[in-house]
């Protein structure tokens, strides 16, 4: 008898095809305030526009029951009634997204979990009365449990999960499979990936077989006092080491590119070429695993921990939407900052698709000085950002898009 593939074998194959293909466009489909705005219903009304704009995967906020309304202090992982809406509204949204060929991405928060009852040491480090009713062994010893020490950094103020425990990993994989095959999520985003070893992320991906994964490995860029250093190689190397340790199964957010790009657009565009003449972020070294972005619910939105300068956002998108890597659009920029910005971003997505730019496209940086950056991507696309003037030589180049301090041409 021939070997018959199950759905789940196909799942791992599908993920490899998506990574190899490198033609994803992600949307972070929420911000820090979304829980106040009947969110699943709101997104339902935008699915058709997302599809028309070229979005292939939309990252949704944590859909499970949480102690905090934003979703990042989970407790009952099997309850899908959250401040974003009811389970039935969520399932309606996921079904609609699949009809429009947009993959729903689940926000996977498994570094920490709020306890339900007091246990060892009088801490809330037990999970009685809810599914996955773990005892104190499931909590790391460094955050008040009876488990082993954490395999990563601590997320303070809440019990951190001990991923070294076999029973914990078995339960997490069971939950991820439920999200993937019963609920209908297809992609995963791993929250606070610094908190536990990447080898467990590898195990979780192999267990649940999502189509596409991205990890949030966020640590500080290299600063000299308050000024960003030119060389961020050690920063991008740490992200690359994390990706490698997932068995190369996950991508990671390119925090290096974000940190450099948001300084560069303030009249320091020389930063956008490293000493080897390549892009200075993760996209310069491993573009097929780098998810580029300008802001998220932590760096931007109402938290504003590390925001991209608002008057340079379109230059930022002109960079990430023409360059190698896997670009991600932030909800606020696409839906809250007005129709002009929405249409400019959608136009850049359209140009990227039409010129077949992908995560591994070649890049030649032509100029990188204070007020001007210019590059040729692939064979048939070039761009510039900054106040300096530049245009490609030759009649074959046609202007495809332009706006405040950016322009894109194609052949």
What DSSP line would sit under 221-265, residue for residue? PPEETTEEPS--HHHHHHHHHHHHHTTT--EEE-HHHHHHHHHHT
The active-site residue, picked from 162, 171, 187, 191, is 191
pLDDT class of 363 with cuts at 50, 70, 90: very high
pLDDT class of 8 with cuts at 50, 70, 90: low
Q: How much is the pTM? A: 0.96
| pLDDT mean over 297-308 | 95
The confidence score (pLDDT) of residue 184 equals 97
Backbone phi, then psi, for 205, in 5-degree steps? Answer: -70, -45
For residue range 190-249, what is the model confidence (pLDDT) as tens digits? 999 999 999 999 999 999 999 999 999 999 999 999 999 999 999 999 999 999 999 999
The confidence score (pLDDT) of residue 14 equals 87
What is residue 85's three-state secondary structure?
strand
| DSSP for residue 396 | T
| pLDDT mean over 75-104 | 98
Cα 47 to Cα 173: distance, rounded to the nearest angstrom: 29
pLDDT class of 3 with cuts at 50, 70, 90: very low
Q: Active-site residue 216, yes or no?
A: yes
The confidence score (pLDDT) of residue 13 equals 81
CB 123 within 8 A of CB 138: no
Alpha carbon 83 to chain centroid, angstroms = 22
CB 197 within 8 A of CB 151: yes
The confidence score (pLDDT) of residue 2 equals 37
Residues 6 or more apart whose Cβ sits within 8 Å of residue 140 = 147, 148, 149, 150, 154, 159, 160, 161, 162
Residue 323 has pLDDT above 60, yes or no: yes
Residues facing residue 372 across a β-bridge: 369
The active-site residue, picked from 24, 203, 216, 274, is 216
The confidence score (pLDDT) of residue 394 equals 93
CB 266 within 8 A of CB 309: yes
The mean of the pLDDT values for the chain is 96
| pLDDT mean over 277-281 | 98
Place of tokens 């389970």: 87
């Amino acid at each position: 008898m021939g070997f018959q593939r199950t759905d789940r074998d196909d799942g791992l194959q599908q993920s490899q095809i998506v990574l190899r293909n490198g033609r994803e466009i992600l949307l972070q489909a929420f911000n820090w305030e979304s829980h106040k705005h009947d969110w699943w219903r709101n997104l339902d009304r935008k699915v058709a526009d997302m599809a028309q704009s070229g979005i292939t995967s939309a990252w949704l906020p944590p859909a499970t029951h949480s102690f905090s309304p934003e979703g990042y202090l989970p407790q009952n992982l099997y309850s899908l009634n959250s401040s974003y809406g009811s389970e039935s509204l969520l399932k309606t949204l996921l079904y609609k997204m699949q009809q429009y060929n947009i993959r729903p991405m689940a926000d996977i928060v498994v570094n920490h979990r709020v306890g339900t009852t007091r246990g060892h040491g009088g801490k809330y480090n037990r999970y009685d009365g809810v599914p996955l009713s773990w005892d104190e062994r499931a909590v790391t010893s460094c955050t008040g449990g009876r488990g082993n020490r954490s395999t990563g950094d601590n997320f303070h103020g809440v019990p951190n999960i001990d991923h070294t425990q076999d029973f914990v990993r078995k339960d997490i994989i069971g939950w991820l499979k439920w999200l993937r095959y019963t609920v209908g999520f297809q992609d995963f985003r791993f929250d606070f990936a610094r908190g536990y070893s990447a080898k467990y992320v590898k195990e979780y991906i192999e267990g649940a077989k999502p189509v596409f994964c991205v990890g949030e490995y966020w640590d500080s860029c290299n600063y000299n006092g308050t000024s960003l250093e030119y060389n961020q190689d050690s920063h991008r190397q740490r992200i690359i080491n994390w990706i490698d340790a997932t068995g190369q199964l996950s991508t990671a957010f390119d925090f290096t590119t974000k940190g450099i790009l948001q300084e560069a657009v303030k009249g320091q565009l020389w930063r956008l070429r490293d000493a080897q003449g390549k892009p200075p972020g993760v996209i310069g070294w491993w573009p097929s695993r780098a998810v580029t972005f300008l802001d998220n619910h932590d760096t931007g939105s109402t938290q504003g921990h590390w925001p991209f300068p608002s008057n340079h956002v379109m230059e930022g998108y002109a960079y990430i939407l023409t360059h190698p890597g896997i670009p991600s659009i932030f909800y606020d920029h696409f839906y809250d900052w007005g129709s002009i910005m929405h249409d400019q971003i959608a136009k850049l997505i359209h140009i990227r698709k039409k010129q077949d730019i992908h995560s591994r496209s070649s890049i030649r940086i032509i100029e990188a000085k204070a007020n001007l950056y210019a590059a040729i991507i692939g064979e048939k696309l070039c761009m510039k950002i900054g106040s300096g003037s530049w245009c490609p030589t030759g009649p074959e180049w046609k202007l495809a898009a332009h706006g405040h301090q950016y322009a894109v041409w194609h052949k």
